[in-house]
Structure 1
Amino acid sequence: MTVQDLTQSQSLTDPFIHLRVHTTYSLSEGASYPKDLLGLAKNLNMPALAISDRNSMHGVFDFSMKAKDYKVQPIIGIQLSVSLGSKPGSLTGNIILFACTEQAFHNINALHLRASRSEFASEGLPIECLRGYTKDVICLTGGGEDGLLPLSMNKSSQLGISCLRTLLEIFGSGLYVEICRNAPPSVESEIVEKGLIDLAEGQAGEVVCLDGIRRDKIPLVATIDTWHATPEGRDAWLMLRAISSGGRVKMLNDGTLDSKAPQCHLRSQEEAKKIFDAEISR
């Protein structure tokens, strides 16, 4: 399977649903209020929109109420920082969790509260702590700049396989391998994507999941890392990132900020299709 197979397997009339969306409740990072993201989603005829703030569920109520006003279906989730071990220095990256039921919402919120404890705040919640909180929870394997599975693969192929096997054991049929793009892929990112697709197709081997079912194949899901509603919000987002990291930004002659960071605004159906239809010239 390729990324093109992923997009072509859906009807051309199927909407692209943004699942990796951050609001101002991603403190010092998200540059758009829930109402701005939802208003744009309505204007783009999107039937649903997710909220997946980094290590925060504080915006869920506001997002849900505003979604009702805009008649957009809210998808409730969180981008959670997870470490592969309990020892300091263990590899840490993000996964996305979504609630399918009320019980799943309570499970995700419990993980959020546990991850907020001081001993996990800097290193991430150990992956083994996810056990027992996965009923009716959807898990994406991570994307953006610090996705858990891509980071593991970059460290070593064996670590990537181990990471995926653990997630598959814990989440079972609720696990999806995430292909995250904000632009047509570079040669380097296409190599990572191919590795992710190989794992999704069973390269990691068969796993006995917690529900007792043996699985090796994992479905793919396409995402775009979204931190602000429109292109005009890019400079505000860059400023927030610089302040948060203690970095600097450079202003160009046209008054915009100079950065190699990708475009991270909400995309229309047509824009998303172009991103995921793109192929690299060989």
Structure 2
Amino acid sequence: MLDGLIKLKELGSKVKELGMSSVAVTDHGVMHGVVEFAKVAKENDIKPIYGVETYVAKDYRSREGSIRRNEDEDKMFYHLTLLAKNFTGYKNLLKLVSIANTDGFYYKPRVDKELLKKHSEGLIALSGCYGGEVPGAFWTNRANPELGMKKAIASVEEYGSIFGDDFYIEIQRQTSDAASQEFMDPLLIDLAKRVNRKLVATGDVHYMLHEDAKIQDIFWAIQEGRTIYDPKHMQMHTDQLFLKSPQQMYELFSDLPEAPANTNEVAEKVEKFSIFFDRVQPKFIDVPEGHTAQTLLRELTFKGAIPRYGEVTDKIKERLDYELQVIHDKGYDDYFLIVADYIQWAWDHGII
């Protein structure tokens, strides 16, 4: 909550305005917005990429740990970006998010690598922002870069064994302070070469426009329960977390053009699929010859009305006609026949 300012309706029109054909939404640990996102994407003729920025713990069932960097790496929760490549991946995302929020919730909704292995089909994974496990190996071992690289390689290999060629190393620019980027950039680039993995440029977008940065700072303060003047308030280190155009991203990575190009590769891997389906209604199978579900329900209704009302007056008939028409228009004729059938069975067997 309160981690970003973007309204999905505005996102759709802005993405279209910037000439982009697809966009991903990756909220922290939840997928509350997917239905609205799907509708907005359809309205603007863009491909929606359903995703989540999940939290990976060593054991999702444990009741210890933190997202804060500390010396005990086994207790950390790391960010990992997951994207649904197809409908199978979408279902696996739903499963992971559900488990994370029910069984894995401890300060944050968490998964672990065993869960990821079990539900990896159809998913693309990016190594995450600076809060990811791969960058985390470098942060934690700043005093020993060789050890940091060794641990980062081990993490990449582990995720690679889960996601195969659908695991990418995520690289961001202007999303943190300059010193952090100066430290992290060369390490991620070197890592990608060593493990023969592709770099993917992402924007860590939290708000739509550059001028929204100040409002975002207020949002974060509210999230913390502090004011923006509180010395303990987590200060924003950048005002660049806005939605950039493709041109701006290519300019930002002018020395590394393959990174934004690989972003397009990821987007192209994602199939365009619908998360909406026609409602499947049960069918009443004992419809007598010469009847449809609609006519049978009408006959039974008027037959039942006689002992209930005595005389079926014009007023009663008008009401029954209206209600039967509503039931038919909504496609519920078979449903009412099925309910009537099992209630009659219950009466016949002395249950009610």
TM-score with structure 1 length normalisation?
Answer: 0.75
Question: What SS does the aligned partner of 2:243 have?
Answer: coil
Q: Which has the higher strand share?
A: 1
Q: Which residue, out of 99, 113, 120, partners 1:127?
A: 113
Give 5+ residue unaligned stretches, structure 1: 1-26, 203-215, 252-257
Q: Which residue, out of 182, 189, 199, partners 1:190?
A: 182
| 1:167-190 CA-partner distances (Å, limit 9, x unpaired) | 111111110000112369835423
Give the distance between the partners of 1:195 and 1:85, measured in 2 at CA: 28
- The CA deviation at 1:239 is 1.4
Quote the residue 1:209 is aligned against: none
Identity of aligned residues (%): 26
Quote the residue 2:83 is aligned against: 98
1:165 partnered with 2:142: no
Q: Which residue, out of 248, 273, 296, partners 1:271?
A: 248
Give the distance between the partners of 1:67 and 1:242, measured in 2 at CA: 31
1:230 partnered with 2:209: yes
Give the distance between the partners of 1:188 and 1:48, measured in 2 at CA: 29
| 1:35-75 CA-partner distances (Å, limit 9, x unpaired) | 11111111111111111111111101100111110111111
Give the distance between the partners of 2:221 and 2:187, measured in 1 at CA: 31
1:180 partnered with 2:172: yes
Q: Contact conserved, 1:184 with 1:276, CA < 8 A, in 2?
A: no
Within 5 Å, which residues of 2 pair with 1:1-282?
A: 27-85=1-59, 88-89=64-65, 90-117=75-102, 119-122=104-107, 124-143=110-129, 145-156=130-141, 157=148, 158-182=150-174, 186-202=178-194, 216-250=195-229, 259-277=236-254
Larger Rg: 2
Give the distance between the partners of 2:2 and 2:175, measured in 1 at CA: 24
Give the distance between the partners of 2:251 and 2:176, measured in 1 at CA: 8
- The CA deviation at 1:152 is 2.4
Alignment root-mean-square deviation, CA: 2.4
Q: Which has the higher helix share?
A: 2
Kindly indicate whether structure 1 or structure 2 has the higher relative contact order, using CA contacts under 8 Å at least 6 residues apart: 1
Give 5+ residue unaligned stretches, structure 2: 66-74, 142-147, 257-352
Q: Which amino acid aligns with 1:263?
A: Q
- The CA deviation at 1:127 is 2.6
- The CA deviation at 1:161 is 2.7
- The CA deviation at 1:234 is 2.1
